[in-house]
């Protein structure tokens, strides 16, 4: 397992980040523990979660994957310093008017709840899950900066920010001399390129932000289990994945399959992850396997890199359509 600096920081994280959104949702707790233990034994030190996972599922109060991580760490006596814990704040956590957003009030309450659920006294990377158009960025950043000074948070990052909001945040941190976002968690994969590539990639490169892309397998589409005219896939993710069904993407899967065969029998998902791992702007794709079998498949991408020619083949097959303005 290779370890990479998270952007300009001195923090080293594994080249694969273990996503945990599926824990307590599509993966039960025993399976989640087994995946976490094998990930840890394989050298993965970087875990991503959020205070709202998986509140959208019936009967799930949210924060369940944070609790599963705590239970696993306690049961297996995992030394706290050997894990880089990343969680998020922003989503709805209750019924009150202040139970969501990036106000000082909600951040200060949410961090305490996440610390309790995670069973720790500090979070390595505290991320704003998506922007809050109703709260001044200075209010959000100064609350996060206070948490850094209180020792409750080590680094701060953001997710799902458009370029101008990210630039505004970097500028505000610089202007006020306070902690700045050191990572971005964007939605990025071979079938969802434009959002990150249009401008965010250049911002991250220029200002030294770590990049930890989520949904690197497009929720399962980039595994090849969904096929044109193929049999129905039974999965909680199947409905969301349908957005990728297009002639262009079926052809992309065929190109990836060929490339995998030429590289000695690599799976389509390993090729999808290797494409991200071969890009110097990317720190660690966040994987989200639901079973041990899926985990072992995803893990097979560790250390896998593509040559310039191989990258070109994938680039040609997946390039976003040019938009005219
Ligand atoms: N910041 C954000 O807004 C945001 C949003 C989403 C996710 N995330 C983070 O990113 C992580 C990963 O996201 P994701 O779950 O969307 O990642 P993904 O890698 O795109 O999708 C993972 C899903 O694909 C399927 N899959 C994976 N490997 C497979 C294999 N070898 N064979 C067949 N199916 C396979 C499984 O779904 P099924 O088996 O159920 O079909 C699995 O749960 C999350 O856990 C979370 O930490 C962040």
Provide DSSP, 110-165. HHHHHHHHHT-S-EEEEEESS--TTS-HHHHHHHHHHHHHTTSEEEEEEES--HHH
Rounded to the nearest angstrom, the distance between the alpha carbon of 221 and the centre of ligand 1 is 10
Is 255 within the bounds of a domain? no
Counting atoms of ligand 1 from 1, which one is nearest the CA of 269? Answer: 31
Q: Is 67 in the pocket of ligand 1 (CB under 6 A)?
A: no
> pLDDT tens digits for the chain (325 residues)?
999 999 999 999 999 999 999 999 999 999 999 999 999 999 999 999 999 998 998 888 999 999 999 999 999 999 999 999 999 999 999 999 999 999 999 999 999 999 999 999 999 999 999 999 999 999 999 999 999 999 999 999 999 999 999 999 999 999 999 999 999 999 999 999 999 999 999 999 999 999 999 999 999 999 999 999 888 999 999 999 999 999 999 999 999 999 999 999 999 999 999 999 999 999 999 999 999 999 999 999 999 999 999 999 999 999 877 655 5
Is 252 within the bounds of a domain? no
How confident is the model over 79-101, as pLDDT tens digits? Answer: 999 999 999 999 999 999 999 99
Is 47 within the bounds of a domain? yes
Q: Output the pLDDT for position 58.
A: 87
Q: Is 219 in the pocket of ligand 1 (CB under 6 A)?
A: yes
Rounded to the nearest angstrom, the distance between the alpha carbon of 238 and the centre of ligand 1 is 11
Tokens of 122: 């500090």
CA distance 277 to 268: 14
Which secondary structure element, helix H or strand E, spans residue 89, and what is its range? strand 84-89
The 10 Å Cβ neighbour count of residue 237 is: 19
Spell out a b/e string for 283-320, using b for 16 or more CB atoms within 10 Å of the CB, else e. Answer: bbbbbbbbeeebbebbbbbbebebeeebeebbeebbee
Residue to mutate (ligand 1; options 46, 66, 91, 220; most atoms within 8 A of CB): 220
Q: Output the pLDDT for position 324.
A: 54
Is 229 within the bounds of a domain? no
Rounded to the nearest angstrom, the distance between the alpha carbon of 290 and the centre of ligand 1 is 8
- List of residues 6+ apart from 134 with CB closer than 8 A: 101
Tokens of 82: 């050997």
Atom 15 in ligand 1: residue holding the nearest Cα: 288
Taking CB atoms within 8 Å and a gap of at least 24, the contacts of 7-11 are 7/182, 7/183, 7/204, 7/208, 7/209, 7/210, 7/211, 7/283, 8/182, 8/207, 8/208, 8/209, 9/155, 9/182, 9/210, 11/84, 11/124, 11/125, 11/154, 11/155
Q: Whole domain around residue 160: which residue ranges?
A: 3-223+281-290
4 pairs with which residues across the strands?
13
CATH classification at residue 28:
3.20.20.100
187 pairs with which residues across the strands?
214
Is 98 within the bounds of a domain? yes
- Torsion angles phi and psi, residue 127, rounded to 5: -115, 140
Q: Is 220 in the pocket of ligand 1 (CB under 6 A)?
A: yes
Residue pair 286/17 in contact by the 8 Å Cβ criterion: yes
Q: Is 21 in the pocket of ligand 1 (CB under 6 A)?
A: yes
CA distance 73 to 121: 14
Q: Is 210 in the pocket of ligand 1 (CB under 6 A)?
A: no
Is 203 within the bounds of a domain? yes
Is 260 strand, coil or helix? helix
Atom 40 in ligand 1: residue holding the nearest Cα: 235
Rounded to the nearest angstrom, the distance between the alpha carbon of 316 and the centre of ligand 1 is 25
Is 171 within the bounds of a domain? yes
Q: Is 106 in the pocket of ligand 1 (CB under 6 A)?
A: no
Q: Output the pLDDT for position 81.
A: 98
Q: Is 66 in the pocket of ligand 1 (CB under 6 A)?
A: no
Tokens of 245: 């069904």
Which secondary structure element, helix H or strand E, spans residue 200, and what is its range? none
How confident is the model over 271-287, as pLDDT tens digits? Answer: 999 999 999 999 999 99
Radius of gyration of the chain (CA): 19
Find, among 15, 38, 19, 22, the residue nearest to 293 by Cα.
38
Q: Output the pLDDT for position 230.
A: 87
Q: Output the pLDDT for position 322.
A: 62
Q: How many domains does the chain have?
A: 1
Is 199 within the bounds of a domain? yes
For residue 250, give Cα distances in angstroms to 116, 230, 244, 246, 256. 45, 11, 9, 6, 10
Spell out a b/e string for 85-100, using b for 16 or more CB atoms within 10 Å of the CB, else e. Answer: bbbbbbbebeeeeeeb
Residue pair 47/13 in contact by the 8 Å Cβ criterion: no
Give catalytic residues, as residue numbers. Answer: 53
Rounded to the nearest angstrom, the distance between the alpha carbon of 222 and the centre of ligand 1 is 10
């Amino acid at each position: 397992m290779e370890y990479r600096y998270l952007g300009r920081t001195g923090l080293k994280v594994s080249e694969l980040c273990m996503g945990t959104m599926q824990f307590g949702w599509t993966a039960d707790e025993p399976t989640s523990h087994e995946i976490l233990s094998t990930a840890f034994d394989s050298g993965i030190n970087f875990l991503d979660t959020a205070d709202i996972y998986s509140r959208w599922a019936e009967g799930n109060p949210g924060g369940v994957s944070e609790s599963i991580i705590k239970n696993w760490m306690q049961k297996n006596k995992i030394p706290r310093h050997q894990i880089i814990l990343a969680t998020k704040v922003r989503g709805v956590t209750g019924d009150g008017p202040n139970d969501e957003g990036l106000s000082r009030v909600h951040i200060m309450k949410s961090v305490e709840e996440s610390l309790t659920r995670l069973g720790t006294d500090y979070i390595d990377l505290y991320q704003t899950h998506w922007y809050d158009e109703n709260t001044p960025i200075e209010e959000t950043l100064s609350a996060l900066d206070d948490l850094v000074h209180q020792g409750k948070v080590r680094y701060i990052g953001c997710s799902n920010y458009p370029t101008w909001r990210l630039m505004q945040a970097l500028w505000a941190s610089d202007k006020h001399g306070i902690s700045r976002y050191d990572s971005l968690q964007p939605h990025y994969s071979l079938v969802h390129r434009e959002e990150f590539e249009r401008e965010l990639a250049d911002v991250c490169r220029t200002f030294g932000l770590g990049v930890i892309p989520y949904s690197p397998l497009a929720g399962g589409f980039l595994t090849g289990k969904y096929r044109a005219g193929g049999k129905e896939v039974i999965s909680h993710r199947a409905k969301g994945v349908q957005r990728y069904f297009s002639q262009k993407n079926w052809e992309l899967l065929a190109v990836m399959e060929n490339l995998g065969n030429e590289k000695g029998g690599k799976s389509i998902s390993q090729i999808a992850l290797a494409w991200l791992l071969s890009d110097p702007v990317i720190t660690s794709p966040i994987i989200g396997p639901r079973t041990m079998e899926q985990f072992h498949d995803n893990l097979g991408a560790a250390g896998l890199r593509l040559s310039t020619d191989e990258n070109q083949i994938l680039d040609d097959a997946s390039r976003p359509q040019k938009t005219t303005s």
